[in-house]
Amino acid sequence: MKKENQIYGLRPVIEAIKSGKEIDKILFQKGLKGTIYNELRTLAFNKNIAIQFVPVEKLNRITRKNHQGIVAYISLINYYNIEDILPMVYEKGEIPLFLILDRITDVRNIGAISRTAECAGVQAIIIPDKGSAQINADAIKSSAGALHLVNIVKSRNLKNTIKYLKDNGIQIVACTEKSDDYYYSTDFTIPTAIIMGSEENGISNDLLNISDCKVKIPVKGEIESLNVSVASAVIVYEAVKQRINSKIFK
């Protein structure tokens, strides 16, 4: 990430958070102690900011400035809460269509998925605050700017977020090769959130277990799976097709 997107030092980072700047993540030097340090940790937790504990050598490689054991990265986009997005979608008279990205770590895939989502009218992309690709300049470039247009929700706990969606009438559809059902057999005209998992590990069992249905894309070649960004496009545009055919697409 470019230097202008970095903040160094305890007080500067605290003041940046309090002033309303979107912070993507904070690197803490291992072993730091003290009142101000604890204040920053508490503030980061309350603001749902990802934190990572690293050796001082890593911080010294990032900057030669007096970092005081703290380096923060300013987010290039704004993040939203699902509790704000869902009511807004209903107030507009739209039928929710969300994407949940579980452990997708390639920024180019995040960018490509976001571009598809924006074109298809997906109202929100939900990502975990840990274990996901950092939305940086490369991701934004890959998205052709779509990451500035799609609502990105950062979740501290995807399982809890999914439970919230289910409690509010959202169907949870998991895209996984572990299913016997093909994606086009599912009704996407109702409020839906689609889970896409990483190409390496797929969707975590915790999320699979609480999904309402599991679907797969037929694969007839020797390669066992599609790239996750391509798979996302296939599933999302099935939802678009169904909604157009039902005359409910807005």
- In this structure, the answer to whether residues 60 and 137 fall within a common structural domain is no
Please report the beta strands in 12-128, taking only residues with DSSP state E, as ranges in sequence order.
23-29, 50-54, 70-74, 79-80, 97-102, 124-128
Q: What was the pLDDT predicted at 92? A: 94
Q: Do 219 and 118 form a contact (C-beta atoms < 8 A)? A: no
- In this structure, the answer to whether residues 31 and 121 fall within a common structural domain is no
- In this structure, the answer to whether residues 125 and 184 fall within a common structural domain is yes
Q: Whole-model pTM?
A: 0.86
The mean of the pLDDT values for the chain is 92
What are the φ/ψ torsions at residue 72 (nearest 5 degrees)?
-115, 150
Q: Which two tokens stand for residue 26?
A: 């904070």
The answer to the question of residue 226 being in a domain is: yes
Q: What was the pLDDT predicted at 3? A: 58
- In this structure, the answer to whether residues 92 and 53 fall within a common structural domain is no
**What percentage of the chain carries pLDDT values higher than 90?**
71
- In this structure, the answer to whether residues 98 and 69 fall within a common structural domain is no
Number of folded domains that form the chain: 2
The answer to the question of residue 169 being in a domain is: yes
pLDDT level of residue 1 (50, 70, 90 thresholds) = very low
The answer to the question of residue 26 being in a domain is: yes
- In this structure, the answer to whether residues 41 and 136 fall within a common structural domain is no
- In this structure, the answer to whether residues 96 and 185 fall within a common structural domain is yes
For residue 117, give its domain range: 79-245
**In the predicted model, what is the mean pLDDT of residues 207-223?**
93
Give the residue from 50, 74, 98 where a domain finishes.
74
pLDDT level of residue 206 (50, 70, 90 thresholds) = very high
Cα gap 104→203, rounded to integer Å: 10
Q: How many CB atoms neighbour CB 18 within 10 A?
A: 10
Number of residues in the chain: 250
The answer to the question of residue 34 being in a domain is: yes
- In this structure, the answer to whether residues 120 and 226 fall within a common structural domain is yes
- In this structure, the answer to whether residues 64 and 109 fall within a common structural domain is no
Which string of b and e fits 158-196 if b means at least 16 CB within 10 Å?
A: beebbeebeeeebbbbbbbeebeeebeebebbbbbbbbb
pLDDT level of residue 198 (50, 70, 90 thresholds) = confident
Domain with residue 192: its CATH number is 3.40.1280.10
The answer to the question of residue 250 being in a domain is: no
To which H or E segment does residue 185 belong? none
The answer to the question of residue 19 being in a domain is: yes
Q: Do 101 and 131 form a contact (C-beta atoms < 8 A)? A: no
Residue 73 clears pLDDT 70, i.e. is over it: yes
* Structure confidence by residue, pLDDT tens digits, 123-172: 999 999 888 887 888 888 999 999 999 999 999 899 999 999 999 999 99
Instruction: Please identify which residue in the block is written with the tokens 């009704």.
Output: 187
The answer to the question of residue 49 being in a domain is: yes
Pairing of strands 151-155, 124-128: parallel
Give the residue from 55, 74, 93 where a domain finishes.
74
Residue 209 clears pLDDT 90, i.e. is over it: yes
Domain with residue 50: its CATH number is 3.30.1330.30
- In this structure, the answer to whether residues 66 and 106 fall within a common structural domain is no
Give the residue from 74, 101, 118 where a domain finishes.
74
- In this structure, the answer to whether residues 123 and 45 fall within a common structural domain is no
The answer to the question of residue 117 being in a domain is: yes
Side by side, which strands form the sheet with 50-54?
6-8, 70-74, 23-29, 50-54
Concatenated DSSP letters for 134-166? ---HHHHHHTTTGGGTSEEEEES-HHHHHHHHH
Q: What was the pLDDT predicted at 135? A: 86
DSSP class of residue 178 equals: T
26 compared with 200, residue with greater pLDDT: 26
Q: What was the pLDDT predicted at 250? A: 61
* Structure confidence by residue, pLDDT tens digits, 98-131: 999 999 999 999 999 999 999 999 999 999 988 8
**What percentage of the chain carries pLDDT values higher than 70?**
98
Q: Which two tokens stand for residue 192?
A: 């839906």
- In this structure, the answer to whether residues 229 and 116 fall within a common structural domain is yes
Residue 209 CB-density burial (10 A; 0-12 exposed, 13-18 middle, 19+ buried): exposed
